[in-house]
């Protein structure tokens, strides 16, 4: 079974997605996610101009060989653009293999290790009161684990905080604004460090001690500030504290780790096992935050997770709306099959996106399941996709209140 056709579909049903579609000589179609938030067209070009010509005529069954060929072959290894492109090819080949075998991909990865994958919701509010409404709305939808982001007094807008919800309303923030130039936001670490512990104190007082609570610091702290935040949150027993420092300085996490027992999660901007080498071997983190989309697909992410397993480090895969439904499905097949699963981030896609991508995965009683459809279980409606052309959209840029560009 050879790869006969390679198509790249860019669509924007509310946000941009890049999807690779491979068709084999037997007429089997495989889909892969290549969405890199704010840099979508760079990956589309990488696939169209440099990868597509290499794929036509290749054996569709040889997933590992194709992965190694695309990783080692070009001489230039790693990086988000390259690894997102490899991810799309890898996912599409797993999709094809599953369809050809008549099995969901998780079966090809070793079968089921659990009944479902515990998902966490994004909740936020500009005030404690509106945060409580958002938490209650998500609990009512069935979520059992909750990520908490809030406004900070003194700051106009904080990334990750959506519009305040009314009771029963559902709204998560969108991690990119439809603008040709990124919006700029103002930041002060002191305001933030003083405010966040009071938020968790209020949430525990209202919702009790048992609910798994998560928080994302978005790479904004120094190791020392991160250690301070971890310590101040210890009384509230977090499931994890995410991206406390810019994680590419892996050694910086030694300082954080030695100072606090709050569990740490890092890795949504990483793209290979080498970005984790020190963090994993020295057990400086508890959870791997990567998604299949940005780490070379199912093959790349499984390599990271098998390495992490030796050090008792678990998964907490990235699942914001900028991971497409195809990428989300790839994550979910791994979630179900891996032994060292921890939790799965879940920001449901909007209705327009789910008209373009027809998903087979389900969310019941707080658990996600990839479903039993052969392959990844997601179909692309190309006509619906064509109705939503690419629209420039970017993540905001972060500046200190005096105007200095700050860590994201």
Binding residues for ligand GCO (CB under 6 A): 37, 160, 175, 216, 218, 268, 320, 322, 345, 395
Annotated catalytic residue 46: no
> Smallest distance from the beta carbon of 104 to Mg ion, in angstroms?
28
Q: Which of these ranges, 99-107, 170-178, 193-201, 209-217, lies near Mg ion under the rule CB under 5 A?
A: 209-217
322 contacts which partner out of ligand GCO, Mg ion, none, CB within 5 to 8 A by kind?
ligand GCO
Burial level of 261, CB count in 10 A (0-12/13-18/19+)? exposed
CA distance 318 to 219: 15
Annotated catalytic residue 218: yes
Of 40, 95, 172, 216, which one interacts with Mg ion (CB under 5 A)? 216
Q: What is the DSSP string of 232-300?
A: HHGGG--SEEE--S-TT-TTHHHHHHHH--S-EEE-TT--SGGGGHHHHHTT--SEE---GGGTTHHHH
What are the backbone angles phi and psi of residue 99, rounded to the nearest 5°?
Answer: -65, -40
CA distance 96 to 144: 34
Residue 88: enclosing H or E segment and its boundaries? helix 80-101
> Smallest distance from the beta carbon of 378 to ligand GCO, in angstroms?
19
Tokens of 218: 């978005």
Tokens of 259: 């100072």
Tokens of 43: 């990956």
CA distance 136 to 125: 12
Size of the site for Mg ion (CB under 5 A): 2
| Selected catalytic residue, list 122, 138, 215, 218 | 218
> Smallest distance from the beta carbon of 283 to Mg ion, in angstroms?
21
Q: Of 99 and 215, which has the nearer Cβ to ligand GCO?
A: 215
Element counts in the chain: helices (H) and strands (E): 14, 17
Q: Of 216 and 369, which has the nearer Cβ to Mg ion?
A: 216
Binding to Mg ion (CB under 5 A) within 346-385 occurs at none
320 contacts which partner out of ligand GCO, Mg ion, none, CB within 5 to 8 A by kind?
ligand GCO
Binding mask 226-265 for Mg ion (x = CB under 5 A): ----------------------------------------
Q: Nearest-CB residue to Mg ion?
A: 216
37 contacts which partner out of ligand GCO, Mg ion, none, CB within 5 to 8 A by kind?
ligand GCO
Sign of CA dihedral 142, 163, 325, 241: negative
> Smallest distance from the beta carbon of 383 to ligand GCO, in angstroms?
27
66 contacts which partner out of ligand GCO, Mg ion, none, CB within 5 to 8 A by kind?
none
Shortest CA distance to 163 belongs to which of 136, 191, 195, 123?
A: 123
175 contacts which partner out of Mg ion, ligand GCO, none, CB within 5 to 8 A by kind?
ligand GCO
Under the criterion CB under 5 A, does residue 40 sit at the interface with Mg ion? no
Contact 355, 369 (CB under 8 A): no
CA distance 404 to 395: 17
| Selected catalytic residue, list 159, 171, 191, 390 | 159
Tokens of 216: 């994302």
User: Catalytic site residues?
Assistant: 159, 218
Residues that bind Mg ion (CB under 5 A): 216, 268
């Amino acid at each position: 079974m050879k790869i006969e056709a390679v198509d790249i579909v860019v669509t924007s049903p509310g946000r941009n997605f890049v999807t690779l579609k491979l068709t084999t000589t037997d007429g089997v179609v495989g889909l892969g996610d290549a969405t890199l938030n704010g840099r979508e067209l760079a990956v589309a070009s990488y696939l169209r101009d440099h990868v597509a010509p290499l794929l036509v005529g290749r054996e569709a069954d040889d997933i590992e060989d194709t992965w190694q060929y695309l990783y080692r072959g070009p001489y230039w290894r790693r990086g988000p653009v390259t690894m997102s492109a490899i991810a799309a090819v890898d996912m599409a080949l797993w999709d094809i293999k599953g369809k050809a075998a008549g099995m969901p991909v998780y079966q090809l990865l070793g079968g089921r290790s659990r009944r479902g994958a515990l998902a966490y919701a994004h909740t936020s509010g500009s005030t404690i009161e509106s945060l409580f409404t958002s938490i209650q709305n998500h609990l009512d939808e069935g979520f059992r684990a909750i990520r908490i982001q809030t406004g900070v007094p003194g700051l106009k807008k904080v990334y990750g905080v959506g519009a305040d919800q009314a009771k029963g309303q559902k709204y998560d923030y969108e991690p990119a604004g439809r603008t040709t130039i990124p919006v700029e936001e103002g930041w002060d670490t002191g305001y933030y460090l003083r405010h966040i512990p009071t938020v968790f104190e209020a949430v525990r007082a209202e919702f009790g001690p048992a609910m798994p609570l998560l928080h994302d610091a978005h790479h904004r702290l120094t190791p020392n500030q991160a250690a301070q935040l971890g310590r101040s949150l210890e009384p509230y027993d977090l499931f994890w504290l995410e991206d406390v420092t810019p994680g590419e300085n892996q050694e910086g996490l030694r300082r954080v780790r030695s100072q606090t027992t709050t569990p740490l999660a890092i890795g949504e901007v990483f793209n290979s096992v080498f970005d984790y080498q020190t963090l994993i071997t020295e057990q400086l983190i508890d959870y791997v935050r990567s998604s299949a989309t940005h780490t070379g697909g199912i093959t790349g992410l499984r390599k990271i997770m098998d390495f992490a397993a030796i050090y008792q480090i678990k998964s907490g895969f990235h699942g914001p709306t900028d991971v497409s439904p195809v990428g989300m499905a790839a994550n979910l097949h791994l979630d179900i099959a891996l032994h060292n699963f921890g939790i799965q981030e879940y920001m449901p896609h909007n209705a327009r996106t789910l008209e373009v991508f027809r998903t087979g995965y389900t969310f019941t009683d707080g658990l996600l399941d990839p479903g039993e459809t052969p392959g990844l279980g997601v179909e692309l409606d190309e006509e619906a996709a064509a109705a939503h052309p690419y629209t420039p959209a970017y993540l905001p840029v972060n500046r200190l209140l005096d105007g200095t560009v700050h860590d994201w």
